[in-house]
Chain A
Amino acid sequence: MRRTLAFVLVLLMVFSMAACSSPAGKSKKSESEWEIVVVPKDASNPWFIRMEVGVKEFAKETGLNVYQKGTPEIDATLQSQLIQDLIAAKVDAICVVPVDPGSLEPVLKQARDAGIVVIAHEGASLKNVDYDIEAFNNEQYGAFIMDNLAEAMGEEGLYTTMVAHVTNASHNEWADGGVKHQKEKYPNMKLLEEEPRVESEDNGDVAYQKAKELFKKYPDLKGIMGTSSYDAPGIARAIQELGLVGKAFTSGTGMPAANAELLKSGIVKSLTLWDPALAGKAMCALAVKVLRGEEIKDHLDLSVEGYTDLTFKEGSTTVLEGKGWIVITAENVDSFGF
């Protein structure tokens, strides 16, 4: 008991002595002294390794002290503690891709109270941020998928849309955006009215079964627009198995490495995605702008591909939307590393 008490006392003394020895002062730093840290969901996920490529590129181009620091595992508590440590280290800006937005609010509030600039990505619901960057507006991304599908289909024929679940907000916004875009731009294409939206349940096998069923039931069906990253690969399997390669088409979100074979064999001409490297770069660029005190307004140009004309999301003063989509084809599929 006494022993422990003494230990606690000794520790307290050490801690407090150390604590008192340095005055906490905040001086106006020059740009070369800035420290900008990107905190991804974790360090080892290929998606965020790709993000670090962009962050490193940004550091090299600008010569600023910008780096990415992730936790060893995807864990909301670890991420929160890492940010607390960064606040204690008095960094100047934190760019974060939240694991669980809700759990980060208190610590991001601490960061902002300490005068640190907070930029988020894929955290549109966050309140305690300076700005949040989204790669794109959902409707416009849907239109982009539609462009790719239309190109494959020769801009004519019957098509339908596939989402993970009809309750999934973003997938349905993409699909709606795609359909709207087709009506405006591709008059020779037609939405399958009997089944305008099918569900893949975020599962490659279900997507495959559904697609097979659809192509058999509607021989005129020429294309399916996928949204979830399981849709297009599943549909492609069905196209291949039914011997419809070159007759039926699909496009949609897809990860490069997992779909390299599909693209190279020509079953799928193109998939769509956003590049985490560019998103990372955009976050850093925005952080620098905020640190410099530049005004952030509509049509913001971050000089990063796809993020040259950012606009605020309707009704929001923090969420900025870019046009950060990319198309993945047989030619560039191996260049991403994820």
Chain B
Amino acid sequence: MKLQIKNISTAIKDIHIKRLLVIMVLWMIFMGIFRFDKFYTLINFQTMAAQFPEFGLMALGIMLCMISGGIDLSVVGVANFVAIASGQLLKIIAGGAGELNGFEILLVMLFGMAIGLAAGFFNGILVSKVKIPPILATLGSYELFRGIAIILTGGKAVSGLPIKYAETIAGKLFGLIPVQLLFFAAVVLILSYLLNRTTYGIKLYMLGTNATAAMFSGHRTERVLIQTYALSGICAALGGLIMLANYNSARADYGAVYTLQCVLIVVLGGVNPMGGKGRISGTVLAICVLQMLSSGINRFPEISSFYIPLFWGGVLLLVMVLNYYRENKQSQGGHKKAVISKYRIWVRKSG
């Protein structure tokens, strides 16, 4: 427990996390004053906890890629592709009767995750072996996956799924905790273990900080990149499987707004778009803040939805500008100090 408190305090020292905590507390106070009875209810928190896992999982994938110095813009494409393919498999397994058992659900989920893994592996090959810039490679593969999804469905929605699947994945454990949240929590725990306790994590941060140095240090950077994009693919696949349950249907164009929203989350969470920096706790916190903000705004009929894209876009740019100035000031300050100390040494020597 002591250790945990210490860890929390070091995390809080992180400027991004501090900023997010301030936003969250301010927003919670604000909602408490103006919409207490509409916001602080069990059902509202259950709803929020059931809503964010689908895009939260995609954001975690983007976070991994961004730490490596890249980005994965194909997550929504992967998610929809997985949801559609898994949905079609569900219909085949369940047959006309619509019967489904737990083992079959697990099988379908593994199938979906395998597709996500393959899609992520493909992205990783494009980025590491073919050396296409990640932003272009994944934008291209997004279109590719979306195209496959459209062909699989003919542009229509996959619906009429066995209700058992939605009841299981979009249900509540003990009638209280949304099952989607459990998936999200499990992935967060696994990823934080990978990032903080394994050599993979260290290699990933090194690769993101300086790819050339990492290569000359003897890391197999290509392999790390492929692993990273494959992990992102699995995260996106889980997001897609949850979407399939939430909407009890799948279509090639669901969640089109999630790409920008996830990038916003990751940057807001303090992950450096240049790579090498970022904590999973920051990303998780950013996901919660974003969900609270968007659900909270919906409590105010007076606020027109016209302002929401403006708001998100503005926040994204503002955070990046703030980060730029902070880092620049630090590095400039560092540079100045170094010059001054060199100068002093020179003065001492010559004097």
Contact = CB atoms under 8 A, between A and B. Distances in A.
Given A7-B8, A103-B251, A89 B257 contact: no
A19 B288 CA distance: 15
A31 interface: no
9 nearest A-B pairs in the assembled complex, by CB-CB distance: A3-B7, A103-B247, A43-B305, A102-B159, A4-B192, A88-B44, A88-B47, A6-B4, A85-B298
Given A7-B281, A19-B45, A89 B38 contact: yes
A104 B159 CA distance: 11
A84 B294 CA distance: 12
Given A7-B285, A72-B306, A90-B38, A103 B4 contact: no
B256 interface: yes
A7 B280 CA distance: 10
Given A1-B196, A7-B11, A107-B247, 6 more contacts: A6-B4, A6-B7, A72-B309, A77-B255, A85-B44, A88-B46
Residues of B contacting A: mostly: helix
Nearest to A67: B301
A122 B4 CA distance: 54
Contact of B45 (A1, A18, A73, A106): A18
Q: How large is the interface on B (under 10, 10 to 19, 20 to 34, 35 or more residues)?
A: 35 or more
A100 B157 contact: yes
Contacts of A89: 38, 44, 298-299
B224 interface: no
A24 B188 contact: no
19 contacts: A1-B196, A6-B4, A6-B5, A7-B11, A8-B185, A19-B45, A22-B36, A22-B37, A44-B306, A71-B305, A72-B308, A73-B256, A77-B254, A81-B51, A87-B47, A88-B41, A88-B43, A90-B38, A102-B248
A159 to B, nearest CB: 34
Interface in B274-303: 279-281, 284-285, 288, 294-295, 298-299, 301
Interface in B1-29: 3-5, 7-8, 10-11, 28
Interface of A: 1-8, 10-11, 15-16, 18-22, 24, 37, 42-44, 67, 69-73, 75-78, 80-82, 84-90, 100, 102-107, 114
B305 A72 contact: yes
Contacts of B309: 72-73
B304 interface: yes
Given A7-B284, A73-B257, A100-B251, A22 B42 contact: yes
A114 B5 CA distance: 41
B248 A1 contact: no
B348 interface: no
Given A76-B254, A85-B47, A88-B295, A3 B10 contact: yes
B182 to A, nearest CB: 11
A103 B249 contact: yes
Given A3-B4, A75-B257, A70 B43 contact: no
A105 B246 CA distance: 10
B151 interface: no
B193 interface: yes
A75 B38 contact: no
B197 interface: yes
B197 A1 contact: yes
Contact of A43 (B10, B248, B306): B306
Nearest to B248: A106
B139 interface: no
Contacts of A21: 40
Contacts of A84: 47, 50-51
A336 B64 CA distance: 50
B170 A106 contact: yes
Given A24-B43, A102-B157, A2 B4 contact: yes
Interface string B186-222: 0011001100110000000000000000000000000
A115 to B, nearest CB: 12
A313 B329 CA distance: 69
Contacts of B280: 4
B157 to A, nearest CB: 5
B208 to A, nearest CB: 19
B150 to A, nearest CB: 15
B8 A103 contact: no
B134 to A, nearest CB: 25
Contacts of A87: 43, 47
Contacts of B248: 102-103, 105-106
A199 B190 CA distance: 57
Nearest to A7: B281
Contacts of A105: 248-249
